[in-house]
Amino acid sequence: MIPFTEIIWDLVTWTPFLAGGFAMNILISLVAMTIGTSLGWIIANMRLATSPRTYRASLYLTEITRNIPTFVFLFYLAFMLPGEFTVPFTASIVGFPSWLKASLALSIAVIGFCSDNLSPAIREWRKGDHGVALLFIPSWTSYALIIVMASSTASVIGVSELVSRCNTVINATGKTQIMLPVYLYACVFFVGFCYPLNILMKHLKSVIGRRLRETAYRGTPSVSSISGG
Amino acid sequence: MLAVAGGQPAADGQFPHRPIRLAAAEAATSPASTTTPAPTKAGSGDAKAAPPAAAQPPGEGTTRRSERLALIKRRGTLLAGIKTDYPPFGTVNESGVPIGFEHDLAEDIARRIGVTLTRVPVSSANRLQKLEEGAIDLVIATQGDTAERRKIATQIEPNYYSSGVTLFVPPDSQLRDWSDVRGQKVCATQGAYFNREMARRYLLDLQMFGNARDAKLAVRDKRCVGYMFDNTALAADVLRPEWAGYKMPLAVSLVTPWSIAIGRGEDKTDFEALVSDAVADWHRTGFLIEREKAWGLQPSKFLQDMRVRWTQKSPDGQFVCRRFADGSITPECRNPIFLSAADASGLRRFGLQIKDLTGIDLTILYDDYDRSAYFSGLLITLLLTVLCIGGSLAVGVLGALAAERKAALLRRATLLVSVCGRMTPPLLQIYLVLVGVGSLLAGLGITLSPLVVVVACLSYYTGSSVMVAMLEAAGVRRRTVPDYRITLRTLREIVPNSSGPVVAALVNVSKATMMGSAVAVPELLSAATSIVSDHGNVGVVMNALLLTFLLLIFVVVRMLGKLERTLVREAAK
């Protein structure tokens, strides 16, 4: 049995490596949120359009993005998109990193979320009800946290993020005893990052709510169209 | 003498034409000096291997008499082209005597003909050329059975061995499956024909090296997880003391069967029949498996599968796989890559026609093995979906009941557990339990079932969200009924306010069941990736997979929606 202190020391030694992996999770999530929010914003606007054809199209698009399982889509993109591509009209070849494929896969879920939540927010904003529209911000952030957790699935296509780096550490040290501690340590990263932000968003939400002197219950952001994984 | 006939490894490839003829001529006159008597060397499986062609006598008039076979018998020796530079298949021992797996096979064929064996060293470059020239009677030299080679020689079916691509890894490597290598750095040698295809099928990050030596040193220095190369070439490396402990744990991929070749004109002759029956016999008696083991080769799945297939009997007591009077072999037992639409029937024929016309390889439709793998994957996915939905609901309801109890400690503990459940990625939870906790339990002799762990973790993750939704709905309820508390009896009162987020959570968990593939639960995604690795039909399988899941999610959404409406209506009564 390896002494407790040795395991702690191992974890400390590998902390920069693991933290780098978590930074990758954040990067994947931020890119996914950016792409997803931009496209979701377009669809949300389509939902408010007066043209019935545009409106119907927006509903179909939202329905599709809601139903695509991101985990399978991740595999789909990993297999179907090339590892590198030639930039059109130039001769330069650009690599298509796996982490970007992961971001793209996750952004599908973000599109659905934004379409559902942005369109009422935009409507309120246009009515001049800016306060209610602002409620979108805490919902968006809570959703981003779900995406951070879902970004761990990128490990299955070999992206070197936190969960995948846990497996690397286990293989590199070759110690069976480190398996449980290293995974628990990874949990600390996720809980340590998500929990405070979640509390903060709840607080922000109640502050906005109080400002609006809302009497009717509005509830937290509904459990969104992604599994968190 | 013997050294001339078969013992000079250096001569392989540049071996001048005339000396072979000379050696052959000498061999013909003094057979005893050129070869060891076959029966003593051929191994234990050989005893049972006796009457070779008797089981399936070539039909009268349908197989021609071979001039070549007659010549071999007149000459009294079989001139076999074998390698001497490819251990352990064909090599030389310390005293320069040619030995190896394929030498044993050649000896057995000579014995069956009733002549002695003369070994003619050949290389990959000249083996079929020498056969064409008539310098040798037969080639048994690690030769892959390909369509091009079928045009220049008669390739004997059944195939006797196979090679493919595997990974050479350090002793401490934990890799067990190609899916463990996804996205990892893998060393490879430039110019190997399989590099591109392997990278495509298994999503590998290839690091190229100029030669095998450098690539293997890079593995040793941990610059990559392993060296990807032909498994039969690597077989010699893992036997060397220098690489003691190094191993090849992954299943061999891109399998190419090997065949014995005889002259192009020997098609449908009694010579072909004799060699073909010999190979069939080797599969049936286990001779090949026994020789493979004797030469220190890793047991190959190919030989095990062939043994099962060729020993299988139909109800009337005949072998299912056999050669018919016209020389043809049962189509199902043939090398599938050489089956054309004309040889197949039914669905398979249809699938092959589509493949010939469009290049779209619908193996999940026409290939029995793939179809059943895909179908059983679908069943497991359905099972996972049902279990996860049920589990999440159970965890959510139990959690909500516990959190609404008066005991403050229980309430706090439940809330804390639910926060942890929602804030750790389910995939991490699965690894934590299956690998982390599993490593502790392994010491006690307990093994966790991956399927159970996946269901438990996904139910915990989703159940935590279900619970929060119920508690929030309870909070809303308390605004109208101040002393409301969730119990089994009052549960229905919060159905209208919680059903939306609960159903959303349940839809999500059914999308997440594919996570099981990360820990080798044989669900649909696992089935799909393994079909891709067998056939390389990435586009077809991935599109089918996405379509199947979209359909599945659509059905789940409809059913849960219906259930939700019913419950809300019931609750309203």
Q: Which of B183, B427, B436 sits opposite A180 (nearest CB)?
A: B436
Q: State residue B172's pLDDT score.
A: 87
Q: Are residues B535 and B397 in the same domain?
A: yes
With CA atoms as reference, the chain B residue closest to A113 would be B504
Residues B414 and B534 in one domain: yes
If we measure between CA atoms, which residue out of B110, B143, B108 comes closest to residue B128? B143
User: Could B436 and A73 be called an inter-chain contact, meaning their C-beta atoms sit closer than 8 Å?
Assistant: no
Distances in Å between the alpha carbon of A54 and those of A46, A49, A57, B183, B514?
6, 7, 5, 40, 34
Q: Do residues B145 and B202 both lie within one domain? A: no
pLDDT of residue B38: 40
- Measure the CA–CA gap between B79 and B26, rounded to whole angstroms: 12
Q: Which residues of B touch A163 (CB under 8 A)?
A: 425, 427-428, 431
The Cα B513–Cα B559 span in angstroms is 17
So what's the pLDDT on residue A213?
Answer: 62
In a domain, B268, yes or no: yes
Residue A226 has pLDDT above 70, yes or no: no
Chain B interface includes A180 (CB < 8 A): yes
Can you say whether residue A132 is alpha, beta or left, with left for phi > 0 and alpha for psi between -120 and 50 degrees? alpha
Q: pLDDT band at residue A180, thresholds of 50, 70 and 90?
A: very high
Residues A37, A108: Cα–Cα separation, whole Å = 10
A49 close to B (CB below 8 A) = no
Rounded Cα gap, residues B543 and B540, in angstroms: 5
Q: What is the CATH number of the domain that holds B243?
A: 3.40.190.10
Tell me the shortest Cα–Cα distance from B149 to chain A, in angstroms.
Answer: 32
- No. of H helices and E strands in chain B? 25, 12
Same-domain check for residues B203 and B319: no
Q: Which of B200, B428, B437 is opposite residue A187, by nearest beta carbon?
A: B428
B163 and B276 Cβ atoms separated by less than 8 Å = no
Peptide bond into B331 cis (omega under 30): no
* B147 and B174 share one domain: no
CB contact under 8 A, A183 and B476: no
- Tell me how close the Cα of A176 comes to any Cα of chain B, in angstroms: 7
Indicate whether B381 belongs to any domain: yes
Helices (runs of H) and strands (runs of E) counted in chain A = 8, 2
pLDDT of residue A51: 92
Say yes or no: A153 contacts chain B, CB-CB below 8 A.
yes
Residues B179 and B103 in one domain: no
**Spatial separation of the C-alpha atoms in residues B486 and B399, rounded to whole Å:** 10
Selected residues 75-94 of chain A with any CB under 8 Å from a CB in chain B:
75-76, 78-80, 83
Cβ contact (<8 Å) for B511 and A155? Answer: no
Q: What's the token pair of residue A40?
A: 């979701």
Q: Which residues of chain B have pLDDT under 50?
A: 1-61
pTM: 0.76
Q: Quote the pLDDT of residue B364.
A: 82
Residue labelled with tokens 């982490």: A99
Q: Could you say which of A72, A153, A180 has the minimum Cβ distance to residue B439?
A: A180
**DSSP readout, B482-528?**
TT----TTTGGGGHHHHHHHHHHHHHHHHHHGGGGGGGT--SHHHHH
Residue A29 forms contact with B (CB below 8 Å): no
Confidence band of A192 (pLDDT split at 50, 70, 90): very high
Its domain, for residue B235, covers 163-255
User: Which candidate, B6, B1, B5, places its Cα nearest to that of B93?
Assistant: B6
- The confidence score (pLDDT) of residue B48 equals 42
Q: Does A159 touch chain B (CB under 8 A)?
A: yes
By DSSP bridging, strand A84-86 and strand A93-95 are antiparallel
DSSP structure class, residue B211 = S
Last residue of one domain, picked from the residues B192, B226, B255? B255
Q: Which of B231, B255, B279 is the last residue of a domain?
A: B255
Q: Which residues of B touch A158 (CB under 8 A)?
A: 181-184, 203, 205
* CB-CB contact of B254 with B197 (8 Å): yes
| Closest CA of chain B from A53, distance in Å | 23
Q: What is the pLDDT of residue B542?
A: 92
Tell me, what's the pLDDT at B524?
93
| Cβ–Cβ gap B183/A158 under 8 Å | yes
pLDDT at residue B406 in the model: 85
Q: Are B189 and B149 found together in one domain? A: no
Is B90:B100 a contact under the CB 8 Å cutoff?
Answer: yes
Domain end call among B199, B222, B255: B255
Per the domain annotation, does B360 fall within a domain? no
Nearest chain B residue to A99 by CA distance is B183
Give a yes or no: residue B60 inside a domain: yes
Domain count, chain B: 3
Say which residue, B346 or A156, is predicted with more confidence: A156
Q: What are the b/e assignments for B343-370, b being 16+ CB within 10 Å?
A: ebeeebbebbebbeeeeebbbbbbbeeb
Contacts of B553 in chain A (CB under 8 A): 67-69
* Residues A75, B542: C-beta atoms closer than 8 Å: yes
Residue B10 domain-assigned?
no
Position B354 in a domain: no
- In residues, how long is chain B? 573
Q: Is the pLDDT of residue A77 over 80?
A: yes
Q: Same domain, yes or no, for B567 and B478?
A: yes
Domain check: are B275 and B296 in the same one? yes
Same domain, B65 and B169: no
pLDDT, position B16 = 36
Contacts of B351 (CB under 8 A, 6+ apart): B361, B362, B363, B365, B366, B367
CATH number of domain containing B475: 1.10.3720.10
Best probe of the A interface among B198, B207, B389, B432, by most A CBs < 10 A, is B432
- Going by the DSSP 8-state scheme, the letter that residue B119 receives in this structure is E
- Looking at residue A214, its pLDDT comes to 52
Residues B150 and B168 in one domain: no
SS3 content of chain B, % helix, strand, coil (to 5): 60, 10, 30
CB spacing of B419 vs A195 below 8 angstroms: yes
**B31 near B1, Cβ under 8 Å?**
no
* Residue B319, SS3 per DSSP: strand
Token reading at B147: 């369509």
B88 phi and psi angles, rounded to 5 deg: -90, 15
Residue B455: the pLDDT is 97
DSSP state of B163: E
In a domain, B154, yes or no: yes
* ipTM rounded to 2 decimals: 0.89
Q: Do B465 and B388 contact (CB within 8 A), yes or no?
A: no
Nearest to B515 among A68, A71, A226 (CB): A71
**Given an 8 Å threshold on Cβ–Cβ distance, is A69 in contact with B549?**
yes
My answer on whether B57 and B147 are in the same domain is yes
Q: Residue B16 domain-assigned? A: no
User: How distant is the Cα of A162 from the closest Cα of chain B, in angstroms?
Assistant: 9
Are B506 and B526 contacting, i.e. CB atoms less than 8 angstroms apart?
Answer: no
**Which of B202, B459, B511, B551 would best serve as a mutation to test chain A binding (most A beta carbons within 10 A)?**
B511
